[in-house]
Structure 1
Amino acid sequence: MHKLVTAPLLTALPCFEACARHLSFTRAAQELNVIAGAVSQQIRQLEERIGRPLFNRLARNVSLTPAGETLLAAVKRSFAQLSLALADIDQPEGPLRLSCSPSFAMLWLMPRLKGFYQAHPGIDILLVAEFQDLDRASFSAGQIDAAIRYDVTDYKGMDVLPLMAEFLFPLASPVFIAQHADAVNRRTFAGLQLLQDAFAWHGAKADVEWRTWREGVAAKGLQAEVDAPDTSIAAKTTDGALTTESLPQDFNLFMIALSAARNHQGVCMARGALVHDDIASGALVHFTGTAVQSPASYKFLSGRADDPRVQVFGKWLQQEAALFSANTQ
């Protein structure tokens, strides 16, 4: 005869599961924050309703009977299904709104998003292209769920997942290199048009990445091998007159500076993560062979770490960044 699933029986199941997991009524009582006598009574009432003993009472502990083993397996399955259902109900509605720079979105993230959608078809991503400083008010107001930033900022009070470091180096198109073979072969930048993202991150000087690379080359003792350009305005002053020779051409987005390099317009100070495909295809050439780590790095930011979508996307993003870093070292 089938036993009906009644409210008292359902109420007793969490108590039974705790006792079966601990194999101790005392430890189960401590977990449930009740006295041991209450646990013993609830298990006895459950056994009476089922009509069979669920535990073997031993001198110092308990063990499950065959009926107890069968019930425990069913309870575990049911609890797992309930947890999944509750997680689905608790899932925030709408897409995950992700703030990200246009350059990182187009050059690194977009080629990988297909893999995320295949692995997590229930989560949509709404990319909000922004290159300004992170607007924390947008997080507070719920307008943005998460963000990816390349900068040097210490985001206190926010949940931050480090993604990967960035490495800087000059690159140019094969056509540009052929047109300026003499300077390239002599490893000098004299007379070459330099290209740069003049807004690398909030608060950075326009030539911060060129300057970082030049100083890194000097620190590595390679100054004699690579005649790194001095991009500071002061270095362009001769007898009080300002000359623009080798002064970088400014762009407000990295991908525009990169586009100029693809179109043979000069030497771009590149970010390795964003130009990997261009180098692999031969469209652009890392002709100095010298890379320097940027003071800025990529990070995933969230003000809603309890959002399951943020957790899933953040974990996936960290895995993709780790895989990329391992394959490009």
Structure 2
Amino acid sequence: MTDLPPLNGLRAFDVAGRRLNFRAAAEDLGVTQGAVAQQVRLLEAHLGVRLFDRLPKGLALTSAGRTYHARIEHAFAEMRDATAQLRPEPGKVLISVTPTFASKWLIPNLPDFSAKHPDIDLRILATENVSSFHSDGIDLAVRQGKPPFGASLAATLLFRQDVIAVAAPALVDGENLPLRPEALARLPKIHDTHNLWPDVLAQAGVTDQSTRSLQLSQTALAVDAAASGQGVALVSRFLVSGDIETGKLIDLGYRASTGAQDFYLLSPRKAGLNDAVGTVVSWLASYATEN
């Protein structure tokens, strides 16, 4: 700490460097103009460098002062951000979900949550990575898996993994449903990272006879491709229930065995839940059950 300049001087310099006026800086800091000027003089004496040119109607940063101020201003901004992340914000809830869950279920259902709980700021972190409750500052996470998830996490089941084969109506126009295995084998397939098609075709007793296929990195993209008529996709039923109801997609009558990789809502067990987080948990659990 002995290598650091006086922190009060740095604070006065930061504000004065932005306002370029000791009087305006004093108003921002809630002190007198003389106190700000004195703190800046002490800082300049400590550094052995003149930071400001004193002008008749204000201040101007010297070349050294301008360079130094850019770094000091950034340092104070970093401290403010770190403090803001550490200090809980009432009514703010950060939930980590996969991009597919976000785009195909959570975001379409957010109007219901916003109407019921307008006072809660629900923020969504959509990522395929496993988020950390501690380092990423998240309050809740939705992930696929099989319990137990660890003694430190509470888990609430949201959706069973019921994977179905779906396609645009035009792709199977004239075919009777459920689709015959031979007809399914001939249709173009849309693959994602879960790679469930080999199991589905094996269960149907056929091999893939399609002349084209599409490989995509996310299930959400596979759903969009299926809706546009690009082929047949395998996806959890709850993610496409709305598209099936509106007729954009139809269920072809085939299911995949996935080893019970169900969807769970996870939260830290040790700290308990504040009111806002508890409200989000209750809404997710009840809305998932109803839909």
The TM-score range, normalised by the shorter chain, is 0.5 to 0.7
SS at match of 1:302: strand
2:264 corresponds to? 299
1:293 CA drift (Å):
5.4
The unaligned stretches of length 5 or more in structure 2 are 1-86
2:116 to 102, 106, 119: 119
**Mapping for residues 146-165 of structure 1, pairs under 5 Å:** 146-152=140-146, 154-156=148-150, 157-165=152-160
Structure 1 position 275, deviation (Å): 0.7
- 8 Å contact from structure 2 (residues 91, 119) kept in 1: no
- Secondary structure of the residue aligned to 1:140 is coil
Aligned to 1:253: 218
For residues 74-97 of structure 1, what are the alpha-carbon distances to aligned partners after superposition, in whole Å with 9 as ceiling and x for unaligned? xxxxxxxxxxxxxxxx97436211
Q: Quick one: which amino acid aligns to residue 172 of structure 2?
A: I
How far did residue 266 of structure 1 move?
0.8
1:312 maps to a residue whose letter is T
Structure 1 residues 111 and 149: CA distance shift in structure 2, 3 A: same
d(CA) in 2 for partners of 1:144, 1:110: 18
Q: Which amino acid in the other structure matches residue 93 of structure 1?
A: P
What is residue 242 of structure 2 aligned with on the other side?
277
Hey, what's the Cα distance between the residues in 1 that align with 2:147 and 2:240?
A: 23
Equivalent residue number for residue 227 of structure 2: 262
Please name the residue that 2:189 is paired with. 194
Q: Counterpart of 1:109 in structure 2: which amino acid?
A: L
1:169 counterpart (126, 144, 164): 164
CA 1:312–1:160: 2 relative to 1, 3 Å: same
**Which position in structure 2 is the counterpart of 1:312?**
279
Identity of aligned pairs, percent?
24
For residues 93 and 248 of structure 1, what CA distance do their matches in structure 2 show?
49
- Counterpart of 2:131 in structure 1 is 135
Distance 1:296 1:248, change over 3 A: farther
Shift of 1:214: 4.5
Aligned residue for 2:103?
106
CA RMSD of aligned residues (A): 2.9
Q: Structure 2 matches for 1:84-95, cutoff 5 A?
A: 92-93=89-90, 95=92
Contact 2:131 2:138 in 1 (8 A): no
Q: Verify the 8 A CA contact 1:100 1:128 in the aligned structure 2.
A: yes
Partners in 1 of 2:201 and 2:272 — Cα distance? 39
Quote how far apart the aligned CAs of 1:192 are. Answer: 2.2
Is the 8 Å Cα contact of residues 302 and 310 (structure 1) preserved in structure 2?
no
> 2:93·2:120 contact (CA, 8 Å) conserved in 1?
yes
Using a 3 Å threshold, how does the CA distance of structure 1 residues 163 and 228 change in structure 2: closer, same or farther? farther
Structure 2-normalised TM-score? 0.60
Deviation at 1:125, TM superposition (A): 0.6
Q: Which amino acid aligns with 1:285?
A: I
Task: State how far apart, in whole Å, the 2-side matches of 1:164 and 1:278 are.
Answer: 17
- Please state whether the residue corresponding to 1:99 is helix, strand or coil: strand
Preserved contact between residue 189 and residue 214 of structure 2 (Cα < 8 Å)? yes
Is the CA contact 1:98–1:127 (under 8 Å) kept in the aligned structure 2?
A: yes
Q: Provide the rounded CA distance (Å) in 2 between the counterparts of 1:186 and 1:300.
A: 37
Residues 93, 276 of structure 2: 8 Å contact kept? yes
Structure-2 separation of matches of 1:259 and 1:320: 24
- What per-residue deviation string (whole Å, max 9, x for no partner) do you get for residues 200-247 of structure 1? 4xxxxxx1x3345456xx4xxxx4xxx4546xxxxxxxxxxxxx9578
Matching of residues 42-121 of structure 1 within 5 Å? 92-93=89-90, 95-121=92-118
Contact 1:168 1:213 in 2 (8 A): no
Q: Distance in 2 between matches of 1:96 and 1:185?
A: 44
Once the two structures are superposed, residues 117-142 of structure 1 have per-residue CA deviations (whole angstroms, 9 ceiling, x without a partner) of 2222221111111122x233xx1135
Cα distance between partner residues in 1 of 2:207 and 2:229: 19
Secondary structure at the aligned position of 1:128 is classed as strand
Distance 1:249 1:312, change over 3 A: same
Larger radius of gyration: 1
Q: Distance in 2 between matches of 1:300 and 1:149?
A: 7
Whole-angstrom CA distance in 2 between matches of 1:153 and 1:248 = 34
